[in-house]
Amino acid sequence: MNRFWQLLLTAIETLGFIVGLAIVKPPLALAPPTEITAFGLESLNSIQSLEELKQLRDRLLSKTETITQSDEPIKDELRQTVQALEIKIHLEQQARENLAAAMSLATQAVDRTKDEQPSLDLLQDAESLWLQAIAQLEKIPQQTLLSPIAEQKIAQYKKHYQSIAYQVDVAQSYFLKLIATRMGNPDRVSITVCQVSDGDCRYWRGDTYPASAASLIKVPIAIALMEKVTSENISLDTKIKVSRGNYTEDPEGANIWSGREHTLRELLLRTIDRSSNIATNQLIDYLGRDYINQVLRDRGYTFTLVDRKLVGNRIYPSNAGGSQINRIVTRELTDMMVKIYNQEHPGDNVLLDALVRQSDRELGYQALSDSSEQWIGEKTGKNSKVLGTTVGVLIRKAYKERYVITITHDYNSNPQTIRQGIRDIVDHIALQGHL
């Protein structure tokens, strides 16, 4: 009996193990085939419901009453199998209760947001209910009959939760609209600000594409490179030759030369800290557009797209790209930065080092230069269509919490508007003590 319970504790939750009792456990396996058939164990494979499990248990209980004393070993095995079925039935009953509770919570969540413009309180209620529903589903063991349904609903409920959570954050983000208005035309401004420690965020047009991704697109390209070198165990000191076809105008001090070899580390750092277009273009060739975009999809970024190489003032690189422009939104870019600061992926320390070394300090760095708050890294982007930045800030007056602020302003060439927007956001957080 002890051996049976030891096995039971490790594997009885799988229906296949119960079948195994009838096939491979020595005493029962020695029973004549007619006896096994009489027990009803051959029907285990076809069981699809809790009711069928109970029916089988009841049949086996009845069989124990008909077995003679001379067949006591078989009777003992049958009792053990019934006990295993009892445990399985208990698990299935609990799974059914969890599923019913989850569905009830989901119905309540939907009901909270049935109005066209639900209030913040109703949205927060719905957010909490979706989380509770997901928690109920996650209690359902994988080995139960309802597990496939639970997994399907978890994926479905998480999408609903994410949608509601975003609406809650937007509803709490009115102060960003005021800041965007002070910056000029608010319909040309996109802002996302997130606390690094808990991922709490606020948005103004966070899912709206800026007129151009500009050099902000270099962050996801750098992320894709670190994914490749860490997952494939490639040294950043590996040298590759920079194709002459990737030449275009570069910022002063980038020092990436077409036709020469550079290490992957040099190309990565110059992509971020000097915003080198040549280095970026070579990394696009090295990684491949499909690989870069697959990494982004795998990490949940559905808006961001890398399809074209970077261009300077006049000179286009060869094989510049496909039919789609590069795209990014402040919500996804900010999330990428938050994950870098949290060191959530291998190699994020290298990316953080590059962000701290960025040479262009006209926007976020200058915005905080006369502030008590601390600049902790940045990537800027600017061209004729957009001016923007994603910047890390340590706000001492908000319990020394780190935040990432991303702002883009379409058709704006005045860095003062971006700097003022950053200062306003930092002041708001410092005054409130939180977002």
Q: Are 22 and 39 in contact (CB under 8 A)?
A: yes
SS3 assignment, position 206: coil
Indicate if 151 and 295 belong to the same structural domain: no
SS3 assignment, position 395: strand
Tokens of 13: 């939750």
Query: DSSP assignment of 350-373, as one string?
Result: HHHHHHHT-S--TTHHHHTTTSSS
Query: Using CA atoms, how far apart are residues 120 and 109, in angstroms rounded to an integer?
Result: 13
CA nearest to 5, candidates 21, 29, 24: 21
Number of folded domains in the chain? 3
Q: Are 287 and 228 in contact (CB under 8 A)?
A: yes
H/E element, 407: strand 401-410
**Residue 38: which residues within 8 A CB-CB, separation 6 or more?**
63
Indicate if 336 and 262 belong to the same structural domain: no
**What pTM did the predictor assign?**
0.75
Query: Using CA atoms, how far apart are residues 144 and 380, in angstroms rounded to an integer?
Result: 51
Query: Using CA atoms, how far apart are residues 333 and 298, in angstroms rounded to an integer?
Result: 15
Burial class (CB in 10 A: 0-12, 13-18, 19+), 302: exposed
Indicate if 189 and 124 belong to the same structural domain: no
Tokens of 413: 């060439």
Return the C-alpha torsion angle 176, 179, 184, 189, nearest 10: -30
Indicate if 239 and 323 belong to the same structural domain: yes
Q: Per-residue b/e over 57-81, b at no fewer than 16 CB within 10 Å? A: beebeebeeebeeeeeebbbbbbbb
pLDDT at 94: 94
Indicate if 375 and 261 belong to the same structural domain: no
Longest dimension (CA), the chain: 97
Indicate if 76 and 159 belong to the same structural domain: yes
Phi, psi of 210 (to 5 degrees): -65, 165
Handedness of CA 9, 10, 16, 17 (dihedral sign): negative
Indicate if 108 and 120 belong to the same structural domain: yes
Phi, psi of 410 (to 5 degrees): -70, 140
Pick the last residue of a domain from 114, 146, 171.
171
Write out the chain's pLDDT in tens, 435 residues. Answer: 333 333 334 333 333 433 333 333 333 332 333 333 444 455 555 677 888 888 888 888 787 777 766 666 777 777 788 888 888 888 899 999 999 999 999 999 999 999 988 999 999 999 999 999 999 999 999 889 999 999 999 999 999 999 999 999 889 999 999 999 999 999 999 999 999 999 999 999 999 999 999 999 999 999 999 999 999 999 999 999 999 999 999 999 999 999 999 999 999 999 999 999 999 999 999 999 999 999 999 999 999 999 999 998 889 998 888 789 999 999 999 999 999 999 999 999 999 999 999 999 999 999 999 999 999 999 999 999 999 999 999 999 989 999 999 999 999 999 999 999 999 999 999 999 999
pLDDT at 43: 54
Tell me the residue range of the domain where 362 lies: 172-208+329-346+355-435
CA nearest to 92, candidates 137, 154, 143: 143
pLDDT at 101: 98
Indicate if 204 and 259 belong to the same structural domain: no
Query: DSSP assignment of 119-186, as one string?
Result: -HHHHHHHHHHHHHHHHHHHTS-TTSTTHHHHHHHHHHHHHHHHHHHHHHHHHT-HHHHHHHHHTS-G
Indicate if 222 and 368 belong to the same structural domain: no
Q: What is the CATH number of the domain that holds 266?
A: 3.40.710.10
Indicate if 242 and 311 belong to the same structural domain: yes
pLDDT at 1: 37
Indicate if 302 and 181 belong to the same structural domain: no
Query: Using CA atoms, how far apart are residues 275 and 268, in angstroms rounded to an integer?
Result: 10
Indicate if 152 and 85 belong to the same structural domain: yes
**Residue 127: which residues within 8 A CB-CB, separation 6 or more?**
161, 164, 165, 168
Tokens of 412: 């704006």
pLDDT at 36: 38
Q: What is the pLDDT of residues 73-131, one digit of tens each?
A: 777 777 788 888 888 888 899 999 999 999 999 999 999 999 988 999 999 999 999 99
pLDDT at 44: 59
Q: Which residue stretches of 274-414 are H helix?
A: 277-287, 289-298, 330-341, 348-356, 364-367
H/E element, 219: helix 218-231
- How far is CA 347 from its chain centroid? 17
